[in-house]
């Protein structure tokens, strides 16, 4: 235990993130917008710089040293990501531009696989990235979207979920953790219910991947999507894990180079997994840096990260509940480090703008989850969200400045 305690040195960790040392409007930066994107440790930044300086060459296509080395890095990253989420094979790891593209890929493939009148089940708490792709399928292919309701605490009503299935249900697509409420959904139970009806499940893991240990085999997820930038890796790269039995049957999402085995003007033969879904030059620099980010997390240890972030959430919640007329949205028992809130008589945008002047970065608006925000009768909310480099002292400063801002705005 002492060894683990020594490993989690918050001051040393903060030194790994150079952006945290800067000042905003003369005030130390307090970054509480981690659900939108996480900051990058120096090892990731250095990895990107190193690769552009020493190993920048297109992969899979060259016989020269740089190309071979870049290819090796890219495929090693794929293997590391497969191991990170316990995927059975690296061939089931598809590189995409992020969670959004991963979900679009699955939606596109299912749309072309099933007939008009098919149904997809999503939930009330989905990010737009897990609503709009299915709406396009609904509009262009005649599908129907069914929605799992939630209660006022922010829990899915699973009894109602089971009632949504029919013989037309082709897939369930649902978030692991809500980016607004912080609710940690029981995705294992959700998957088990769907599988009992022979329906596959796609999990949007954008918010979960940095805050939970994900094991796709234990979950028995058919698809699991996540982004690099939410997990301390670069922007513009993401992952779709998919079971081979589905990926083998799917037709490619996009066409171009790399995803082909051979091309003539009469016929194209597509490449094997995972390459048939990776059209064009992949972001081989970011994939290697993605691996670096995951190694960094594993060196710290997920048990320590989860415990530390849970303590931050509990402390911030306790202190915010003392503020008059402040309402927190999302009070589920199983919750991650996100607090969305409003204060009576204060517009969330005004509050976020004033806090920014004190060096505190929060999020305001509908958080790309407009149906969920409107469910609570709001047009928008203020949101703070934690990473393991945040501190209790930062929460104290946030609370102090929040009270000052409210005196001005109320």
Active-site positions read 368
In whole angstroms, give the CA distance from residue 181 to residue 35: 11
- CA 45, 48, 52, 53 dihedral sign is positive
Q: Which 8-state DSSP code applies to residue 252? A: P
Contacts of 16 (CB under 8 A, 6+ apart): 41, 42, 43, 296, 389
Q: Which residue has the tokens 């890929």?
A: 105
* Residue that has been written with the tokens 């699955």 in this structure: 106
Distances (CA, A) of 305 to 13, 301, 361, 385: 11, 6, 21, 14
Q: How far apart are CA 310 and CA 301, in angstroms?
A: 14
Query: What count of residues does the chain have?
Result: 410
| 86, 218 Cβ separation under 8 angstroms | yes
In the DSSP assignment, the letter for residue 381 is: E
- Which pair of tokens denotes residue 247? 């990926």
**End-to-end CA separation in angstroms for the chain:** 47
CB-based contact 121:143 (threshold 8 Å)? no
Structure tokens at 87: 């995927």
| Helices and strands: H and E segment counts in the chain | 15, 17
How far lies 118's CA from each of 108, 114, 199, 252, in Å?
13, 7, 12, 21
Instruction: Report d(CA 122, CA 102) in Å as an integer.
Output: 16
Residue 102 · residue 239 · CB < 8 Å: yes
Give the SS3 label for residue 285. Answer: helix
Residue 296 near residue 232, CB atoms below 8 Å: yes
Whether the CB-CB separation of 227 and 206 falls below 8 Å is answered with yes
Query: What CA–CA distance (Å, rounded) separates 158 from 239?
Result: 28
What are 219's two structure tokens? 């979950």
């Amino acid at each position: 235990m002492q060894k683990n305690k020594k490993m989690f040195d918050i001051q040393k960790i903060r030194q790994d993130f150079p952006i945290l040392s800067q000042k905003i409007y003369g005030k130390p930066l307090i970054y509480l917008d981690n659900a939108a994107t996480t900051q990058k440790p120096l090892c990731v930044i250095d990895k990107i710089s190193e690769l552009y300086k020493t190993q920048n060459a297109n992969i899979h296509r060259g016989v020269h040293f740089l190309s071979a080395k870049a290819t090796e890095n890219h495929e090693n990253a794929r293997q590391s990501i497969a191991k990170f989420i316990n995927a059975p094979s690296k061939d089931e790891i598809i590189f995409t531009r992020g969670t959004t593209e991963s979900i679009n890929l699955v939606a596109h493939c299912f749309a072309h696989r099933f007939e008009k009148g098919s149904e997809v089940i999503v939930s009330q708490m989905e990010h737009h990235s897990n609503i709009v792709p299915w709406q396009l399928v609904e509009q262009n292919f005649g599908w129907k979207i069914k929605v799992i309701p939630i209660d006022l605490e922010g829990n899915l009503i699973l009894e109602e979920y089971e009632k949504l299935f029919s013989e037309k249900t082709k897939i369930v697509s649902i978030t692991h953790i809500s980016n607004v409420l912080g609710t940690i959904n029981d995705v294992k139970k959700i998957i088990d219910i769907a599988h009992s009806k022979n329906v596959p499940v796609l999990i949007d893991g954008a918010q979960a991947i940095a805050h939970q240990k994900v094991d796709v085999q234990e979950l028995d997820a058919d698809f699991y999507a996540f982004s690099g930038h939410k997990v301390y890796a670069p922007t513009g790269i993401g992952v779709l894990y998919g079971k081979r039995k589905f990926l083998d049957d799917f037709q490619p999402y996009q066409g171009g180079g790399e995803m082909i085995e051979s091309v003539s003007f009469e016929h194209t033969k597509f490449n094997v997994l995972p390459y048939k879904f990776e059209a064009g030059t992949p972001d081989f620099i970011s994939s290697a840096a993605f691996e670096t980010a995951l190694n960094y997390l594993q060196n710290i240890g997920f048990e320590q990260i989860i415990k530390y972030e849970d303590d931050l959430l509990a402390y911030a919640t306790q202190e915010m509940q003392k503020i008059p007329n402040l309402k927190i949205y999302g009070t589920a028992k199983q919750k991650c480090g996100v607090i969305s809130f409003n204060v009576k008589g204060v517009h969330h945008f005004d509050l976020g703008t004033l806090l920014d002047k004190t060096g505190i970065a929060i999020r305001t608006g509908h958080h790309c989850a407009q149906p969920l925000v409107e469910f609570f009768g709001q047009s928008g909310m203020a949101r703070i969200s934690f990473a393991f480099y945040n501190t209790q002292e930062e929460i104290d400063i946030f609370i102090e400045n929040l009270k000052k801002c409210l005196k001005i705005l109320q």
